[in-house]
Amino acid sequence: DQQVKQNSPSLSVQEGRISILNCDYTNSMFDYFLWYKKYPAEGPTFLISISSIKDKNEDGRFTVFLNKSAKHLSLHIVPSQPGDSAVYFCAAQQGGSQGNLIFGKGTKLSVKP
């Protein structure tokens, strides 16, 4: 049974607009959440993370929101750029820095010029 779910396999947005990628989880013991970006033939690259004690973390054009009561997090990219086109994976972790990451299936984002 999947503990981390990304229900949208793909998302298409226009350059300059906002991209919103969503992620749901089932395990209330997760205490850290991460977003990774993956280009074809490359490994996942860390993008941004958030601790469960926070509800928002921002880094430049990227903001992650966490709603613990809903067990939901989202990644906002503003403004979206064609270079953001990639597969985005949501991941969750428990048990401190040595806990393994549980990944969702990913959402393929296409940003059209």
Nearer to other proteins, 15 or 94 (CB): 94
Asked if 110 is part of the footprint of other proteins (rule: CB under 8 A), the reply reads no
Running DSSP on this structure, what letter comes out for residue 80? -
Give the count of residues interacting with other proteins (CB under 8 A): 24
Phi and psi (nearest 5°) for 107? -125, 125
Q: Looking at 7-72, list the stretches that DSSP marks H as alpha helix, in order from N- to C-terminal side.
A: none
Per CB under 8 A, the list member of 43, 60, 83, 113 interacting with other proteins is 43
Please identify which residue in 8, 22, 49, 52 interacts with other proteins, judged by CB under 8 A. 49
**Rg of the Cα trace of the chain?**
13
